[in-house]
Amino acid sequence: MSNVIAIDGPSGAGKSSVSRIVGRRLGYLHVDSGALYRILTWQCLAAGVDMESPEAICAFASSVDIECRPEDGRVAYYVGGEAPGERIRTPQINANASKVAREKPVRDKVTALLKGMVKYGNLVVEGRDITTAVFPDSPARFYLTASAEARARRRQKEEVDKGIANQSAEAVKASLLARDAMDSTRKYAPLRKADGALEIDSSDLTLDEVVEAVVSALPKEWRA
Ligand code: DC
Protein backbone atom coordinates (compact mmCIF):
# COMPACT_ATOMS: atom_id res chain seq x y z
CA MET A 1 0.00 0.00 0.00
CA SER A 2 1.33 3.42 -0.96
CA ASN A 3 1.45 6.36 1.43
CA VAL A 4 -0.41 9.47 0.25
CA ILE A 5 0.19 12.95 1.64
CA ALA A 6 -2.84 15.06 0.68
CA ILE A 7 -2.63 18.86 0.51
CA ASP A 8 -5.55 21.14 -0.36
CA GLY A 9 -5.98 24.90 -0.32
CA PRO A 10 -6.83 27.95 -2.42
CA SER A 11 -4.76 29.28 -5.35
CA GLY A 12 -1.36 30.67 -4.47
CA ALA A 13 -1.24 29.25 -0.93
CA GLY A 14 2.10 27.60 -1.79
CA LYS A 15 0.84 24.04 -2.32
CA SER A 16 3.04 23.32 -5.34
CA SER A 17 6.32 24.51 -3.85
CA VAL A 18 5.63 22.77 -0.54
CA SER A 19 4.52 19.52 -2.20
CA ARG A 20 7.55 19.48 -4.49
CA ILE A 21 10.00 19.95 -1.62
CA VAL A 22 8.27 17.49 0.71
CA GLY A 23 8.20 14.96 -2.13
CA ARG A 24 11.89 15.41 -2.87
CA ARG A 25 12.81 15.14 0.80
CA LEU A 26 10.88 11.90 1.38
CA GLY A 27 11.26 10.37 -2.07
CA TYR A 28 7.51 10.66 -2.75
CA LEU A 29 6.25 11.50 -6.24
CA HIS A 30 4.73 14.98 -6.55
CA VAL A 31 1.25 14.98 -8.10
CA ASP A 32 -0.19 18.31 -9.30
CA SER A 33 -3.91 17.57 -9.68
CA GLY A 34 -4.72 21.13 -10.79
CA ALA A 35 -2.57 20.56 -13.87
CA LEU A 36 -5.00 17.83 -14.99
CA TYR A 37 -7.94 20.29 -14.85
CA ARG A 38 -5.75 22.85 -16.61
CA ILE A 39 -4.86 20.39 -19.38
CA LEU A 40 -8.54 19.65 -20.01
CA THR A 41 -9.24 23.40 -20.07
CA TRP A 42 -6.35 23.99 -22.49
CA GLN A 43 -7.60 21.25 -24.79
CA CYS A 44 -11.19 22.58 -24.71
CA LEU A 45 -9.98 26.10 -25.58
CA ALA A 46 -7.68 24.83 -28.32
CA ALA A 47 -10.58 22.90 -29.86
CA GLY A 48 -12.87 25.95 -29.73
CA VAL A 49 -15.33 24.35 -27.30
CA ASP A 50 -18.07 26.73 -26.11
CA MET A 51 -16.96 27.37 -22.52
CA GLU A 52 -20.47 28.47 -21.55
CA SER A 53 -21.85 25.04 -22.44
CA PRO A 54 -21.38 22.37 -19.72
CA GLU A 55 -22.53 19.69 -22.19
CA ALA A 56 -19.91 20.70 -24.76
CA ILE A 57 -17.19 20.83 -22.08
CA CYS A 58 -18.10 17.38 -20.70
CA ALA A 59 -18.40 15.76 -24.13
CA PHE A 60 -15.06 17.10 -25.29
CA ALA A 61 -13.17 16.57 -22.01
CA SER A 62 -14.20 12.91 -21.93
CA SER A 63 -12.43 12.40 -25.27
CA VAL A 64 -9.07 13.83 -24.14
CA ASP A 65 -6.48 11.17 -23.43
CA ILE A 66 -3.94 12.21 -20.78
CA GLU A 67 -0.93 9.95 -20.42
CA CYS A 68 0.55 9.89 -16.88
CA ARG A 69 4.18 8.89 -16.38
CA PRO A 70 6.33 8.93 -13.21
CA GLU A 71 9.39 11.00 -14.12
CA ASP A 72 12.00 13.06 -12.22
CA GLY A 73 10.22 12.90 -8.87
CA ARG A 74 6.78 13.75 -10.17
CA VAL A 75 3.94 12.33 -12.21
CA ALA A 76 4.32 13.99 -15.62
CA TYR A 77 1.45 14.43 -18.07
CA TYR A 78 1.39 14.17 -21.85
CA VAL A 79 -1.30 14.82 -24.43
CA GLY A 80 -0.66 13.30 -27.84
CA GLY A 81 2.95 12.72 -26.74
CA GLU A 82 3.44 16.42 -25.90
CA ALA A 83 4.14 17.94 -22.47
CA PRO A 84 1.90 20.98 -21.93
CA GLY A 85 4.58 23.02 -20.10
CA GLU A 86 3.67 26.63 -19.31
CA ARG A 87 0.85 26.65 -21.89
CA ILE A 88 -1.54 25.59 -19.11
CA ARG A 89 -0.56 28.51 -16.81
CA THR A 90 -1.88 31.45 -18.85
CA PRO A 91 -4.42 34.03 -17.59
CA GLN A 92 -6.91 32.62 -20.13
CA ILE A 93 -6.66 29.16 -18.59
CA ASN A 94 -6.80 30.63 -15.07
CA ALA A 95 -10.07 32.32 -16.06
CA ASN A 96 -11.65 29.19 -17.55
CA ALA A 97 -10.36 26.28 -15.43
CA SER A 98 -13.10 26.50 -12.80
CA LYS A 99 -15.78 26.10 -15.47
CA VAL A 100 -14.23 22.80 -16.47
CA ALA A 101 -13.41 21.68 -12.91
CA ARG A 102 -16.99 22.12 -11.68
CA GLU A 103 -18.42 19.45 -14.01
CA LYS A 104 -19.05 16.05 -12.41
CA PRO A 105 -17.92 13.89 -15.37
CA VAL A 106 -14.70 15.90 -15.55
CA ARG A 107 -14.09 15.47 -11.82
CA ASP A 108 -14.80 11.73 -12.05
CA LYS A 109 -12.26 11.40 -14.87
CA VAL A 110 -9.53 13.28 -12.97
CA THR A 111 -10.31 11.51 -9.68
CA ALA A 112 -9.96 8.10 -11.37
CA LEU A 113 -6.59 9.13 -12.84
CA LEU A 114 -5.38 10.35 -9.42
CA LYS A 115 -6.54 7.24 -7.54
CA GLY A 116 -4.76 5.07 -10.12
CA MET A 117 -1.45 6.78 -9.40
CA VAL A 118 -0.94 4.86 -6.14
CA LYS A 119 0.47 2.12 -8.36
CA TYR A 120 3.56 4.32 -8.90
CA GLY A 121 4.44 4.38 -5.17
CA ASN A 122 4.25 6.94 -2.37
CA LEU A 123 2.69 10.26 -3.39
CA VAL A 124 2.28 13.85 -2.29
CA VAL A 125 -0.88 15.06 -4.00
CA GLU A 126 -2.00 18.70 -4.05
CA GLY A 127 -5.32 20.18 -5.14
CA ARG A 128 -8.75 21.26 -3.91
CA ASP A 129 -10.53 18.01 -3.08
CA ILE A 130 -7.68 15.64 -2.33
CA THR A 131 -8.32 15.57 1.43
CA THR A 132 -12.12 15.47 1.07
CA ALA A 133 -12.87 13.34 -2.01
CA VAL A 134 -9.84 11.73 -3.66
CA PHE A 135 -7.85 10.43 -0.67
CA PRO A 136 -10.10 11.23 2.34
CA ASP A 137 -8.72 8.29 4.32
CA SER A 138 -5.10 9.41 4.25
CA PRO A 139 -3.68 9.91 7.76
CA ALA A 140 -1.65 12.87 6.39
CA ARG A 141 -4.06 15.58 5.27
CA PHE A 142 -3.30 19.31 5.19
CA TYR A 143 -5.18 22.50 4.41
CA LEU A 144 -2.70 25.14 3.32
CA THR A 145 -3.90 28.71 3.23
CA ALA A 146 -2.64 32.34 3.23
CA SER A 147 -4.10 35.84 3.01
CA ALA A 148 -5.42 36.92 -0.42
CA GLU A 149 -2.68 39.58 -0.59
CA ALA A 150 0.13 37.09 0.07
CA ARG A 151 -1.31 34.64 -2.45
CA ALA A 152 -1.71 37.30 -5.16
CA ARG A 153 1.84 38.55 -4.58
CA ARG A 154 3.27 35.04 -5.01
CA ARG A 155 1.24 34.29 -8.14
CA GLN A 156 2.12 37.61 -9.76
CA LYS A 157 5.84 37.11 -9.10
CA GLU A 158 5.62 33.60 -10.52
CA GLU A 159 3.91 34.85 -13.71
CA VAL A 160 6.54 37.56 -14.21
CA ASP A 161 9.51 35.30 -13.33
CA LYS A 162 8.36 32.63 -15.75
CA GLY A 163 7.50 35.16 -18.46
CA ILE A 164 3.89 33.90 -18.58
CA ALA A 165 2.18 37.29 -18.15
CA ASN A 166 2.72 40.75 -16.73
CA GLN A 167 -0.49 41.54 -14.87
CA SER A 168 -0.81 43.95 -11.95
CA ALA A 169 -1.05 42.51 -8.43
CA GLU A 170 -4.65 43.77 -8.35
CA ALA A 171 -5.57 41.91 -11.56
CA VAL A 172 -3.95 38.72 -10.29
CA LYS A 173 -5.80 39.05 -6.98
CA ALA A 174 -9.15 39.58 -8.69
CA SER A 175 -8.69 36.53 -10.92
CA LEU A 176 -7.54 34.40 -8.00
CA LEU A 177 -10.49 35.41 -5.80
CA ALA A 178 -12.95 34.77 -8.64
CA ARG A 179 -11.51 31.29 -9.11
CA ASP A 180 -11.55 30.55 -5.36
CA ALA A 181 -15.19 31.66 -5.17
CA MET A 182 -16.18 29.26 -7.95
CA ASP A 183 -14.04 26.42 -6.58
CA SER A 184 -15.52 26.74 -3.07
CA THR A 185 -19.17 27.11 -4.03
CA ARG A 186 -19.49 24.51 -6.79
CA LYS A 187 -21.83 21.56 -6.31
CA TYR A 188 -19.34 18.69 -6.61
CA ALA A 189 -16.29 18.37 -4.35
CA PRO A 190 -15.97 22.07 -3.47
CA LEU A 191 -12.81 23.38 -1.85
CA ARG A 192 -13.20 23.21 1.93
CA LYS A 193 -11.09 22.27 4.89
CA ALA A 194 -11.65 18.59 5.64
CA ASP A 195 -12.51 17.54 9.19
CA GLY A 196 -9.27 16.34 10.73
CA ALA A 197 -6.98 18.07 8.20
CA LEU A 198 -4.18 20.16 9.72
CA GLU A 199 -4.58 23.82 8.72
CA ILE A 200 -1.39 25.77 8.05
CA ASP A 201 -1.53 29.51 7.33
CA SER A 202 1.57 30.30 5.30
CA SER A 203 1.09 34.12 5.16
CA ASP A 204 3.93 34.80 7.57
CA LEU A 205 5.91 31.59 7.23
CA THR A 206 8.90 30.84 5.01
CA LEU A 207 8.70 27.93 2.60
CA ASP A 208 11.08 25.97 4.84
CA GLU A 209 8.85 26.57 7.84
CA VAL A 210 5.78 25.28 6.01
CA VAL A 211 7.69 22.20 4.80
CA GLU A 212 8.82 21.57 8.37
CA ALA A 213 5.24 21.91 9.66
CA VAL A 214 4.06 19.32 7.13
CA VAL A 215 6.89 16.83 7.64
CA SER A 216 6.72 17.00 11.43
CA ALA A 217 2.99 16.20 11.36
CA LEU A 218 3.41 13.04 9.28
CA PRO A 219 3.10 9.57 10.82
CA LYS A 220 6.50 8.77 12.36
CA GLU A 221 7.23 5.82 10.10
CA TRP A 222 6.70 7.98 6.98
CA ARG A 223 9.46 10.37 8.01
CA ALA A 224 12.21 7.78 8.05
O1 DC B 1 -4.24 24.47 -8.48
P2 DC B 1 -4.54 25.08 -9.85
O3 DC B 1 -4.68 26.57 -9.82
O4 DC B 1 -3.55 24.65 -10.88
O5 DC B 1 -5.96 24.48 -10.27
C6 DC B 1 -6.55 24.74 -11.51
C7 DC B 1 -8.07 24.66 -11.41
O8 DC B 1 -8.49 23.33 -11.11
C9 DC B 1 -8.68 25.53 -10.32
O10 DC B 1 -9.86 26.15 -10.82
C11 DC B 1 -9.06 24.58 -9.22
C12 DC B 1 -9.30 23.30 -9.95
N13 DC B 1 -8.92 22.12 -9.15
C14 DC B 1 -9.93 21.36 -8.61
O15 DC B 1 -11.11 21.68 -8.77
N16 DC B 1 -9.62 20.23 -7.91
C17 DC B 1 -8.35 19.87 -7.71
N18 DC B 1 -8.07 18.77 -7.02
C19 DC B 1 -7.30 20.67 -8.24
C20 DC B 1 -7.63 21.80 -8.95
pTM listed for this prediction:
0.95
How far apart (Å, rounded) are the C-alpha atoms in residues 205 and 150?
11
pLDDT tens per residue across span 164-190? 888 888 899 998 999 899 899 999 999
Does some domain include residue 49?
yes
Split at pLDDT 50, 70, 90, the class of 155 is confident
Question: What is residue 1's predicted lDDT score, i.e. its pLDDT?
Answer: 86
Closest residue CA from atom 15 of ligand 1? 101
Does some domain include residue 11?
yes
By most ligand atoms within 8 Å of CB, the mutation choice from 138, 175, 183, 185 for ligand 1 is: 183
CB 5 within 8 A of CB 224: no
Domain hosting residue 17, numbered range: 4-215
Instruction: Count the domains in the chain.
Output: 1
Question: What is residue 163's predicted lDDT score, i.e. its pLDDT?
Answer: 86
pLDDT tens per residue across span 71-115? 999 999 999 999 999 999 998 999 999 999 999 999 999 999 999
**Amino acid in the structure at residue 105:** P
Residue 32, domain CATH = 3.40.50.300
Ligand 1 surroundings by CB, under 6 angstroms: 11, 33-34, 37-38, 97-98, 101, 127-130, 179, 183
